[in-house]
């Protein structure tokens, strides 16, 4: 692929589109980690945390560029993303215990970097695939994703207080992304190509399963918390 050729720009557009589609979960993590900070400190925490996460993600993507040759990687990544989507809903019922709000600037930054690294596998794999083994594309694409994630996390802090149901939308997007990754695993592509109806059914079942399981866990956690408060 020649630098700045038509193919290069097409691949870059694909990477930016992927970032737009997958930045939601990262924005949620950043927003939750910084939500208890003073507004004047929130912006610093989001900026520093995102910068640290970006460095880790570039390194991880370079590694994945090589690992993409390993069979079943997309399947493994898709299964992990299904678990992330479930935890996103389930942990909301427990005040998102896995992504604690930072009480200070550097605590929030540390939380953002660690949580983003743990949740960024889908983005890393997708960007590495779209880059077609081109490292410059990876770096440019991820640099473009920074303002997307920063803006998204700032917006999420405001929206989550008014529209708690938005967490379900995030889980649906993650569930769809996970199921799509699995169906794109090269060893499974022939099967799903031959049976397109089963591909659609699989995606629907994954998304519905994530939402249902997360809702059940969230509801049971709320009921458990109410029982504890009634006895205290």
* CA 157/CA 42 separation, integer angstroms: 10
Residue 14, in any domain of the structure: yes
Comparing CA positions, the residue from 106, 144, 109, 108 lying closest to residue 123 is: 144
pLDDT band at 206 (very low <50, low <70, confident <90, very high): very high
DSSP the chain: --TTSHHHHHHHHHHHHHHHHHHHHHHHHHHHHHTTS-HHHHHHHHHHHHHHHHHHHHHHHHHHHHHTTSTTHHHHHHHHHHHHHHHHHHGGGGT-TTSPPPSSHHHHHHHHHHHHHHHTHHHHHHHHHHHTT-HHHHHHHHHHHHHHHHHHHHHHHHHHHH-TTHHHHHHHHHHHHHHHHHHT-TTTHHHHHH-HHHHHHHHHHHHHHHHHHHHHHHHHHHHHHHHHHHH-
Assess whether pLDDT exceeds 80 at residue 190: yes
Residue 138, in any domain of the structure: yes
Residue 159, in any domain of the structure: yes
Residue 194, in any domain of the structure: yes
Assess whether pLDDT exceeds 50 at residue 108: yes
Q: Which domain holds residue 98?
A: 6-231
Residue 1, in any domain of the structure: no
- Percentage of the residues of the chain whose pLDDT score is greater than 90: 12
* CA 88/CA 172 separation, integer angstroms: 10
The pLDDT of 118-146, averaged and rounded, is 70
- What pLDDT is recorded for position 100? 52
- As a whole number of Å, the end-to-end CA separation of the chain is 65
Q: In the chain, how many domains are there?
A: 1
Q: Which residue has the higher pLDDT, 79 or 130?
A: 79
pLDDT band at 156 (very low <50, low <70, confident <90, very high): low
Only one residue has tokens 């591909």, namely 199
């Amino acid at each position: 692929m020649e630098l700045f050729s038509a193919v290069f720009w097409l691949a870059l557009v694909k990477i930016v589109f992927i970032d737009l589609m997958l930045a939601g979960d990262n924005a949620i993590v950043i927003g939750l980690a910084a939500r208890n900070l003073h507004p004047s400190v929130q912006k610093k925490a989001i900026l520093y945390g995102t910068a640290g996460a970006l460095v880790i993600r570039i390194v991880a993507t370079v590694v994945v560029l090589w690992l993409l040759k390993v069979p079943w990687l997309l399947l493994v990544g898709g299964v992990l993303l299904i678990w992330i989507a479930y935890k996103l809903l389930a942990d909301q019922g427990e005040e998102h215990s896995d992504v604690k709000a930072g009480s200070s600037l550097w605590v929030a930054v540390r939380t953002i970097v660690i949580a983003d690294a743990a949740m960024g596998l889908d983005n890393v794999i997708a960007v590495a695939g779209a880059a077609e083994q081109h490292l410059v594309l990876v770096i440019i694409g991820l640099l473009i994703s920074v303002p997307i994630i920063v803006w998204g996390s700032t917006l999420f802090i405001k929206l989550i207080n008014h529209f708690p149901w938005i967490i379900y939308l995030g889980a649906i997007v993650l569930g769809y992304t996970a199921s799509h990754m699995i169906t794109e695993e090269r060893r499974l592509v022939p099967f799903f190509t031959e049976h397109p109806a089963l591909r659609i059914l699989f995606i629907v079942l994954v998304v519905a399963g994530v939402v249902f399981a997360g809702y059940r866990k969230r509801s049971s956690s709320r009921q458990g918390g109410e029982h504890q408060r009634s006895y205290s």
